[in-house]
């Protein structure tokens, strides 16, 4: 994940007041987006949220009803041709032709981009190698696994060396190993300075890859920010202090009850090992300011914990809170983040 790119970097993609309706159904109801150049931006939303519609509009496949839209510095309304030249798009429906080989698919793209025969062959070979498809290059693409087809699809997108890439649900339907390979592919693109807008239904994917995440719900952006910022939006964050000495734990718990408004010392369930049980939880949004004041207080009260960890709600919690779901099947993992 690129952390050096701030929202102050020039925008590779921007939208202000993006609207789209089909008949009386409003799909996008005034979306604002700003994607700094060289960053990964994830548009996260449940089925039917309008993710593909947004990507299709920004990649000039369909037109918006309203909105100021710029991609690669070009105005979509007045210069769609220049936008098309600046971007690469890999959609949910693959551009791969199964009847011809991987290499032939690549050469076809090279032709479309008017590369010379020689340059086309060189680019195709280089990309097939980069995406670990050299061994399969001479086989019909229909014989490829789902992961291989996705990699070929992205390799084809890269033939024209786009600086901005739209990836619509790049890992939907892939097994975990192929998904991780695809994440590596996307990270490598970003380390080359490419800007990526990806849509996903997977919270973990957005968490893993994206510098910033927008949660799309009911035609509007329900929240936008880094994964950490989004996690801080909903309650449930806390700071955990773990003690190995029972008397230190007891005196800390006593001091905490007296001193911290809302502080709730909590013992985890009885099955936890004895040394795990000596834990105090203090509700907190995990901001540096809160952390600093807690550390100051611990110091002044002479309390020494063996371990301090900050726990924020995970992205699942945020997603369900924002999109009105009821929760996940899986218990939310309590990892220190």
Ligand X SMILES: Nc1ncnc2c1ncn2[C@@H]1O[C@H](COP(=O)(O)OP(=O)(O)OP(=O)(O)O)[C@@H](O)[C@H]1O
Closest CA to 268 of 284, 279, 257: 279
Query: Buried (b) or exposed (e) across 24-63, using 16+ Cβ within 10 A?
Result: eebbbeebebbbbbbbbbbbbbeeebbbbbbbbbbbbeee
Q: At what angle do helices 146-157 and 117-130 cross, to 10 degrees?
A: 140
Beta bridge partners of 34: 14
Rounded least distance, CB 199 to ligand X, Å: 6
- Which region among 42-50, 69-77, 132-140, 276-284 touches ligand X (by CB under 6 A)? 42-50
Beta bridge partners of 279: 242
Q: Residue 45 or residue 72: which is nearer to ligand X going by CB? A: 45
Q: Residue 3 or residue 47: which is nearer to ligand X going by CB? A: 47
Q: Residue 90 or residue 101: which is nearer to ligand X going by CB? A: 90
Q: Residue 45 or residue 160: which is nearer to ligand X going by CB? A: 45
Q: Among residue numbers 47 through 86, which ones bind ligand X (CB under 6 A)?
A: 47-53
Q: Residue 31 or residue 137: which is nearer to ligand X going by CB? A: 31
Do 150 and 173 touch, CB atoms closer than 8 A?
Answer: no
Q: Is 22 in the site for ligand X (CB under 6 A)?
A: yes
Q: Is 240 in the site for ligand X (CB under 6 A)?
A: no
Interaction mask 197-226, ligand X, x per CB under 6 A: ----x-------------------------
Residue 239, both tokens: 């700071």
Distance separating alpha carbons of residues 185 and 170, to the nearest angstrom: 11
Q: Residue 51 or residue 84: which is nearer to ligand X going by CB? A: 51
Distance separating alpha carbons of residues 304 and 86, to the nearest angstrom: 57
- Which region among 41-49, 79-87, 152-160, 277-285 touches ligand X (by CB under 6 A)? 41-49
Q: Among residue numbers 139 through 178, which ones bind ligand X (CB under 6 A)?
A: none
**Contacting residue, 36, 45, 72, 286, with ligand X by CB under 6 A:** 45
Closest CA to 40 of 175, 179, 191: 191
- Which region among 3-11, 40-48, 301-309, 313-321 touches ligand X (by CB under 6 A)? 40-48
Residue 242, both tokens: 């773990």
Closest CA to 72 of 20, 18, 10, 17: 10
Binding positions for ligand X, rule: CB under 6 A: 22, 27, 45, 47-53, 201
């Amino acid at each position: 994940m690129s952390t050096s790119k701030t929202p102050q970097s020039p925008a590779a993609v921007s939208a202000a007041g993006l609207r789209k309706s089909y008949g009386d159904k409003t799909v996008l109801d005034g979306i604002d987006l700003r994607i700094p150049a060289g960053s990964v931006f994830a548009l996260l939303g449940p089925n039917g949220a309008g993710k593909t519609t947004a990507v299709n509009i920004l990649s000039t496949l369909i037109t918006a009803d309203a909105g100021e839209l710029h991609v690669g510095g070009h105005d979509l309304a007045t210069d769609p041709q220049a936008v098309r030249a600046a971007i690469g798009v890999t959609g949910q429906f693959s551009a791969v032709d199964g009847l011809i080989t991987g290499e032939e698919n690549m050469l076809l793209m090279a032709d479309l981009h008017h590369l010379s025969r020689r340059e086309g062959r060189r680019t195709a070979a280089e990309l097939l190698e980069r995406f670990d498809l050299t061994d399969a290059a001479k086989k019909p693409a229909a014989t490829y696994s789902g992961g291989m087809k996705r990699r070929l699809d992205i390799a084809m997108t890269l033939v024209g060396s786009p600086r901005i890439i739209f990836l619509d649900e790049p890992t939907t339907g892939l097994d975990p190993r192929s998904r991780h390979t695809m994440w590596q592919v996307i990270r490598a693109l970003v380390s080359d300075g490419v800007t990526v807008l990806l849509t996903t239904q997977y919270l973990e994917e957005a968490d893993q890859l994206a510098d910033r995440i927008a949660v799309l719900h009911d035609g509007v952006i329900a929240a936008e920010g880094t994964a950490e910022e989004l996690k801080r939006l909903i309650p449930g964050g806390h700071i955990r202090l773990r003690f190995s000495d029972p008397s230190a734990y007891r005196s800390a718990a006593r001091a905490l009850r007296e001193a911290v408004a809302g502080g709730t010392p909590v013992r985890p369930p009885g099955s936890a090992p004895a040394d795990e049980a000596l834990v105090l939880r203090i509700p907190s949004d995990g901001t540096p300011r809160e952390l600093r004041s807690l550390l100051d207080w611990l110091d002044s009260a002479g309390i020494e914990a063996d371990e301090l960890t900050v726990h924020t709600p995970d992205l699942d919690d945020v997603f369900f809170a924002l999109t009105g779901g009821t929760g996940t099947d899986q218990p939310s993992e309590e990892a220190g983040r």
